[in-house]
Each structure stands twice: as structure tokens, then as C-alpha cells.
């Protein structure tokens, strides 16, 4: 079966480390990683070109999980150092093992690409047909069954059920495929009213086109559940991380992640007298990047003032509303005004729920519960966390690889129950407090 390849003119694959760099108009390379199986092949169909192949082993370095370290090119793979200036070819390339790969093309006469070339008119990637469909991993199936049984035993008729997740930080050869499978399987077993993602879908370290591709893949996988998907914008979602120059504008973020023209929005469940509010909390162009700008605070004030007195509100954001509950910023933009507003309406707020911290935490010191949710990405570093934050144990290939919540909301009882899928504890919001179960 022929698989399409995407090429980018000016992109080079470096022989020394397998990473890519721009500024080489004589080269046409694939910005994406492709997975090849034994028997797959690359075949040149235009003799005016030659091609080079870099392969990457499916090896995950421990430091990418257990320390604060982001993998280069957002790929949990290891370059096999099989590309050089002398390894260009015109004959067929056959894969003999399971590897990820990238391809670089050059013209035989050494001239620059003109901009109209289509890689698929130059090179074919032929894949062998799948022998049988891939079965769900047994440990994943067991966790799906455990959590779905738990939900079915406690979910009431007057309750709403959501998947709640954050900080997936998508990587090639990572764990997203398992996470998506788990959510899709849960949706088949239990009633699901929506999926909430609290931001940082990717690392934000690659080009906009590549990040867009990964984000669209995540959202597409979630939308297969055929329920609403709501997202808050995270700091990595700007695609600026580690001085990445190819970042998204705010309008582009709204279009890509939210499908709206505003970075903040609300969703009402009239039957349940419940309002969900989604805030934005990061601006890389401000001196104080983290926090809540005046437009956000004014908008939130209107939302809270217009919420009927007998309704309840859950507020979602990537960032906590108060600086003591996060590590990275010494100040939060708009903190005093935001907290004054939230405390004024504390009687309406069931909880303020955020991601970003890569740890679990419950706070009851501000007159309403503030809950931090641990990262969905399989990652367990203990540095750079506020005191008291919990970092659950994580390990690839078992249920602790995963971490997201099933969130059951009962506005009438002023209660939220959280059932953890994977690593971490269950929790509950009741009587105006958040507690571990």
C-alpha cells in the first residue's frame, strides 16, 4: 500500500545527530517521522533525484520520563547514525526491522528546489499490508474495565460525566495512542458528556506545521468519541518553547485548539444549572507571561455576575489562579484582581481546576477548592514542583503509564467525584472542600 509523504524544501537532516535544520534550499526533507515495518520500502520514481534515509530506533530514554527533559524534535526515539553525505542513493531502500525514519532528497545536478516539487511524485513509500488488526494491550484493557465498572457503580442519573486530562505533550513513539484508545474504549462502556483538556497538547518545540499536525491528531482521536471536546490554552500551545521562533499567534491558537475566535469561553448545562468556564492564562509577548490579563478578568466578571444565583460554576484553566500553587513564575499577572473576583463569587464555584504543574494537589485555603491535575504524558519528575504536590509513580507498559480523571459532576449536591485512570488517587469535592478518597 502506498503511503503519502510530506516534504519541506530547505530542510536538512543533520548526519551528526539526526535532527533537522532550515536554510538548505538544495534539500527536500520530511519534517515528520514515519514508522516502517519489515518489508516496507522506499522507491525512487524520478531519476533526476537521489535520496537519503535516516532511521531512529524505538528506544525511550529514562531521562525523558524521570527528569525535566524534553526529547529533541518531540520524538522518543534514538537516531541510529546511518545517514551521511555518502549514503545518498537511487536504488530501492528496503526496511528489515521496525524503525522510524525521515527522508532527504537532492537533485542529481545539485541545484536548488524551485518550490513546486511534490515529494510523492519523486519517491514512493510502499508499506506491506497489515496481517491482522492490533489488539488492545491487556494491561490497558484491564484498567479500562476497572474504571468503567467503578463509574457504572457510582454514576447517578442527575450527574454529568467527563474525561478530564492535561499536559499530554505529544511525542513520536510516546504514549498518546494508548491514552486515546483508553478514552475511546471508556466511551463505549459508559455515558460520557464531554472531554476536557487543560492544555499543553504538545511540547511546542517543532515547526508550526508539525505541531499543527500533532494537535489535529490528538483532537481527531478525542472527537472519535462523538462528544464535545473542550480545551484551555497552555503555555506550550503557543509553540514558543525553548525560543522556538515558529510560534502560533493568539488567533491561530484559538482556531487550532478551540475552534473559536476567543481564548476564553463558557458552556452551560441548563438542565443541571451548571456553567463550565474555560480561561486563558499565558501570553509569551508580555513581560509577565503567566497569568490573567485585564480582558480575561473583565470577561470572567461578566460571566460570574450573569450566572444565576442557584447555578454552580466549575472554572478550568491551564494555570492556577494563585502563584503559591505553581513553581515557574514569581508573579502572576492579574492575581490580586482575579482572586478578589473569585472570592466574591466563591459560593457559586464548585472548583477551580488547572494543569501545568505536572503534579496532583488539592487546596482549600481560598474559600473554594483549587485542584491541580497531574500530566497525562508518562512523566515522573519531582523537581520544580511546589511543596506538597504529589507526583504519582509512572512506568511504561503498565497502568501507571497513564494518568487522567473521570470527573462526575452533581451540581444539585455541590459534589464532584474524580476517578483516576492509571496512576494517582481518586478525590472528591463535597461541602465546599476537596479531599482525597
Same domain for 152 and 14:
no
Q: Which of 92, 126, 160 is the last residue in one of the domains?
A: 126
Same domain for 153 and 19:
no
Per-residue pLDDT of the chain (437 residues; tens, 9 = 90+): 899 999 999 999 999 999 999 999 999 999 999 999 999 999 999 999 999 999 999 999 999 999 999 999 999 999 999 999 999 999 999 999 999 999 999 999 999 999 999 999 999 999 988 766 778 999 999 999 999 999 999 999 899 999 999 999 999 999 999 999 999 999 999 999 999 999 999 999 999 999 999 999 999 999 999 999 999 999 999 999 988 899 999 999 999 999 999 999 999 999 999 999 999 999 988 889 999 999 999 999 999 999 999 999 999 999 999 999 999 888 999 999 999 999 999 999 999 999 999 999 999 999 999 999 999 999 999 999 999 999 999 999 999 999 999 999 999 999 999 999 999 999 999 999 999 99
Same domain for 278 and 158:
yes
Same domain for 248 and 115:
no
Same domain for 162 and 90:
no
Residues 6+ apart with CB under 8 A from 49: 90, 105, 106, 107, 108, 122, 123
Same domain for 101 and 147:
no
What local confidence, expressed as pLDDT, does residue 44 receive? 97
| Of 431, 351, 404, nearest in space to 192 by CA | 404
Note whether residue 422 is domain-resident: yes
Same domain for 308 and 274:
yes
Query: pTM here?
Result: 0.96
Same domain for 406 and 301:
yes
Q: Which domain range does residue 336 map to? A: 138-436
Q: Which of 68, 94, 126 is the last residue in one of the domains?
A: 126
Note whether residue 57 is domain-resident: yes
Note whether residue 133 is domain-resident: no
Number of domains in the chain: 2
Note whether residue 132 is domain-resident: no
Note whether residue 131 is domain-resident: no
Note whether residue 269 is domain-resident: yes
Note whether residue 188 is domain-resident: yes
Query: What CATH number is given to the structural domain containing 270?
Result: 3.60.21.10
Q: Which of 100, 126, 152 is the last residue in one of the domains?
A: 126
d(CA 361, CA 370): 8
d(CA 201, CA 370): 22
Note whether residue 394 is domain-resident: yes
Backbone angles phi, psi at 103, to 5 degrees: -125, 145
d(CA 2, CA 202): 28
Same domain for 192 and 92:
no
Same domain for 171 and 61:
no
Same domain for 290 and 239:
yes
Same domain for 241 and 111:
no
C-alpha neighbours within 13 Å on the C-beta side of residue 52: 23
Amino acid at each position: 500500500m502506498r503511503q503519502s509523504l510530506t516534504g519541506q524544501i530547505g530542510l536538512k537532516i543533520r548526519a551528526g545527530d539526526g535532527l533537522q535544520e532550515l536554510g538548505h534550499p538544495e534539500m527536500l526533507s520530511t519534517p515528520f517521522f514515519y514508522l516502517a515495518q519489515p518489508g516496507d520500502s522506499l522507491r525512487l520514481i524520478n531519476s533526476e533525484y537521489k535520496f537519503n534515509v535516516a532511521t531512529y530506533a524505538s528506544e525511550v530514554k529514562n531521562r525523558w520520563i524521570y527528569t525535566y527533559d524534553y526529547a529533541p524534535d518531540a520524538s522518543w526515539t534514538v537516531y541510529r547514525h546511518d545517514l551521511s553525505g555518502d549514503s545518498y542513493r537511487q536504488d530501492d531502500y528496503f526496511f528489515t526491522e521496525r524503525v522510524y525514519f525521515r527522508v532527504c532528497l537532492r537533485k542529481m545536478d545539485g541545484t536548488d528546489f524551485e518550490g513546486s516539487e511534490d515529494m510523492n511524485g519523486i519517491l514512493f513509500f510502499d508499506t506491506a499490508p497489515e496481517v491482522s488488526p492490533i489488539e488492545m494491550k491487556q494491561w490497558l484493557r484491564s484498567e479500562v474495565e476497572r474504571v468503567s465498572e467503578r463509574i457504572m457503580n457510582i454514576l447517578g442519573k442527575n450527574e454529568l460525566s467527563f474525561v478530564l486530562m492535561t499536559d499530554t505533550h505529544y511525542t513520536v513513539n510516546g504514549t498518546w495512542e494508548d491514552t486515546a484508545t483508553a478514552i475511546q474504549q471508556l466511551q463505549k462502556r459508559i455515558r460520557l458528556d464531554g472531554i476536557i483538556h487543560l492544555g499543553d497538547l504538545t511540547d511546542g518545540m517543532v515547526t508550526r506545521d508539525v505541531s499543527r499536525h500533532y494537535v489535529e491528531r490528538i483532537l481527531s482521536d478525542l472527537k472519535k468519541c462523538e462528544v464535545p471536546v473542550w480545551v484551555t490554552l497552555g503555555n506550550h500551545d503557543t509553540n514558543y518553547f525553548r525560543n522556538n521562533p515558529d510560534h502560533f499567534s493568539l488567533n491561530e491558537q484559538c482556531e487550532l485548539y478551540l475552534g473559536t475566535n476567543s481564548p476564553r469561553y463558557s458552556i452551560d448545562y441548563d438542565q443541571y444549572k451548571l456553567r463550565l468556564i474555560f480561561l486563558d492564562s499565558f501570553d509569551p509577548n508580555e513581560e509577565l507571561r503567566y497569568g490573567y490579563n485585564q480582558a480575561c478578568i473583565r470577561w470572567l466578571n461578566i460571566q460570574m455576575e450573569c450566572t444565576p444565583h442557584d447555578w454552580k460554576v466549575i472554572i478550568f484553566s491551564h494555570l492556577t489562579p494563585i502563584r503559591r500553587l505553581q513553581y515557574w513564575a514569581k508573579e502572576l499577572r492579574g492575581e490580586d484582581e482575579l482572586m478578589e473576583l473569585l472570592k466574591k463569587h466563591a459560593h457559586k464555584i464548585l472548583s477551580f481546576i488547572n494543569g501545568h504543574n505536572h503534579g496532583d494537589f488539592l487546596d482549600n485555603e481560598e474559600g473554594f477548592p483549587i485542584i491541580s491535575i497531574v500530566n497525562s504524558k508518562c512523566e515522573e519528575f519531582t523537581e520544580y514542583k511546589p511543596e506538597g504536590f504529589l507526583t504519582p509513580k509512572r512506568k511504561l507498559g503498565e497502568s501507571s503509564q497513564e494518568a487522567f480523571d473521570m470527573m462526575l459532576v452533581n451540581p444539585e449536591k455541590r459534589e464532584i467525584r474524580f476517578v483516576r485512570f492509571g496512576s494517582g488517587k481518586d478525590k472528591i469535592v463535597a461541602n465546599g472542600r476537596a479531599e482525597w478518597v
